[in-house]
């Protein structure tokens, strides 16, 4: 089990409006905030968004070596569809629209989304 993830972001305000909104919508709670960051907790796991002085001023590249995306359980197919529609109103774009919602394969129902900073998330429907 993961303990936490720390995502360094170029623009904390923008990432809080997109990724932070999504984490809240998925049932995370704000655990703490500070001048350069915010943490979101769900049970024993938390995710940090941070934009401190050590963050290099460069765009996130999901296809570069490193983390490609975060995948979250997002409920039923209807709930994935609803959350996807809401996410589009919060700065996300739908990736692989021609294959949506089966971009991960015929048996895999999910939405692949990217925020304006290029962070990708996958919202996965339960089987």
Residue 127's pLDDT is what?
Answer: 85
Q: Return the SS3 of 18.
A: helix
Q: What is the pLDDT along the chain (127 residues), one digit of tens a residue?
A: 899 999 999 999 999 999 999 999 999 999 999 999 999 999 999 999 999 889 998 888 999 998 899 999 999 999 999 999 999 999 999 999 999 999 999 999 999 999 999 999 999 999 8
Residue 42's pLDDT is what?
Answer: 97
Residue 101's pLDDT is what?
Answer: 97
Alpha-carbon torsion (6, 8, 13, 16), positive or negative: negative
Residue 60's pLDDT is what?
Answer: 87
Where along the chain do its domains lie?
4-124
Measured distance CA(104)–CA(55) in Å, rounded: 32
Residue 1's pLDDT is what?
Answer: 87
Q: Contact, 23 vs 38, CB < 8 A?
A: no
Measured distance CA(108)–CA(125) in Å, rounded: 8
Query: What's the CATH fold of domain 4-124?
Result: 2,3-Dihydroxybiphenyl 1,2-Dioxygenase; domain 1 (3.10.180)
Measured distance CA(37)–CA(41) in Å, rounded: 14
Q: Which residues of 77-94 are buried (b: 16+ CB within 10 A; e: fewer)?
A: eeebbebbeebeeebbeb
């Amino acid at each position: 089990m993961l303990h936490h993830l720390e995502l360094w972001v170029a623009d904390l305000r923008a990432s809080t409006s997109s990724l932070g909104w999504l984490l809240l919508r998925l049932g995370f709670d704000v655990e703490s905030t500070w001048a350069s960051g915010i943490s979101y907790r769900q049970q024993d796991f938390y995710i940090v968004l941070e934009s401190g002085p050590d963050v290099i001023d460069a765009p996130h590249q999901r296809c570069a070596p490193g983390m490609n995306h975060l995948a979250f359980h997002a409920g039923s197919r209807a709930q994935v569809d609803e959350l996807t529609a809401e996410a589009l109103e919060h700065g996300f774009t739908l990736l692989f629209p021609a294959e949506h919602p089966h971009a991960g394969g015929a048996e895999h129902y999910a939405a692949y989304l990217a925020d304006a900073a290029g962070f990708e998330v996958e919202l996965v429907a339960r089987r």
